[in-house]
Chains A and B, each alone.
Chain A
Amino acid sequence: EVQLVESGGGLVQPGGSLRLSCAVSGFTFSNYWMSWVRQAPGKGLEWVANIAQGGSEKYYVDSAKGRFTISGDNARNSLYLQMNSLRLEDTAVYYCVRDSRSGGIDAFDIWGQGTMVTVSS
């Protein structure tokens, strides 16, 4: 079964750090782009970052540049998001997402259940 399972969310103070993890199963992690997408409480969806197969390319939304780092570990079939200098506005559910770019699809076709990050003093 294709599955993405996030972990690492929690409560953190402004300026703090958190590392999100996403365990991938059911497909070959190294063959796919992967993304993080977030959703603030009661708000819409916002793409945060993505990473190419093998990690050769990484892209970020402007608000994450310089603070967040996306990475992947092919041996562990895992995706990560290191978040530093967290702000109140980073409070959201963070989804790990498979960013399919083959077979005619260029879309987020598999989503994890999400992990909640709350930035608050």
Chain B
Amino acid sequence: DVQMTQSPSSLSASVGDRVTITCRASQNIHTYLNWYQQKPGKAPKLLIYGASSLQSGVPSRFSGSRSGTEFTLTISSLQPEDFTTYYCQQSSSTPLTFGGGTKVEIK
């Protein structure tokens, strides 16, 4: 099974900050890596697919990148609505697996 190690589990930041969340895969998953945003009490929402492609309707301040088995979600300038939880997920092989999540909190 592919293990997804997401870090940090939480972070504190301010509006306007640049934020980076990392996910490391336990083996090569190529670009089969997706990022989701989940607000409290709501279903997750797809932000980034294929490691770096922005889902339709998602603001351009969100971006994704890959370096080997390490993947990064970057929010270039945090907005108030961005303070919530983010998950990575690999779609390379079953079982499909998620990272443990990163909660972005207001500093």
Residues of A that sit less than 8 Å from B by CB: 35, 44-47, 50, 59-62, 95, 104-109, 111-114
Main secondary structure of the interface of A (DSSP, over half): strand
User: Within the complex, which residue of B44, B94, B95 is in contact with A111, where a contact is CB–CB below 8 Å?
Assistant: B44
B91 close to chain A: CB less than 8 A: yes
Complex interface residues of chain B between 55 and 107 (CB less than 8 A to chain A): 55, 87, 89, 91, 94-101
Q: Which residue of A lies closest to B1 (CB)?
A: A62
Q: Which residue of B lies closest to A112 (CB)?
A: B43
User: Within the complex, which residue of A61, A109, A114 is in contact with B46, where a contact is CB–CB below 8 Å?
Assistant: A109
**Number of cross-chain contacts by CB at 8 Å:** 60
* Residues of A contacting B101 in the complex (Cβ-Cβ under 8 angstroms): 44-45
B20 close to chain A: CB less than 8 A: no
User: Within the complex, which residue of B46, B53, B87 is in contact with A44, where a contact is CB–CB below 8 Å?
Assistant: B87
In the complex, A66→B91 CA distance in Å?
23
In the complex, A35→B91 CA distance in Å?
12
* Residues of A contacting B53 in the complex (Cβ-Cβ under 8 angstroms): 104-105
Residues of B that sit less than 8 Å from A by CB: 32, 34, 36, 38, 43-46, 49-50, 53, 55, 87, 89, 91, 94-101
> Contact between B95 and A61 (Cβ–Cβ < 8 Å)?
yes
3 shortest interchain CB distances as A-B pairs: A111-B43, A107-B49, A107-B34
* Residues of A contacting B87 in the complex (Cβ-Cβ under 8 angstroms): 44-45
In the complex, A112→B43 CA distance in Å?
7
User: Within the complex, which residue of B55, B94, B98 is in contact with A109, where a contact is CB–CB below 8 Å?
Assistant: B55
> Contact between A105 and B43 (Cβ–Cβ < 8 Å)?
no
> Contact between A108 and B55 (Cβ–Cβ < 8 Å)?
no
Q: Which residue of A lies closest to B46 (CB)?
A: A109
> Contact between A44 and B100 (Cβ–Cβ < 8 Å)?
yes
A45 CB, nearest partner CB in chain B, Å: 4
> Contact between A106 and B32 (Cβ–Cβ < 8 Å)?
yes
In the complex, A62→B96 CA distance in Å?
11
> Contact between B45 and A111 (Cβ–Cβ < 8 Å)?
yes
Given contacts A45-B89, A106-B49, A108-B89, contact A62 B43 (CB under 8 A): no
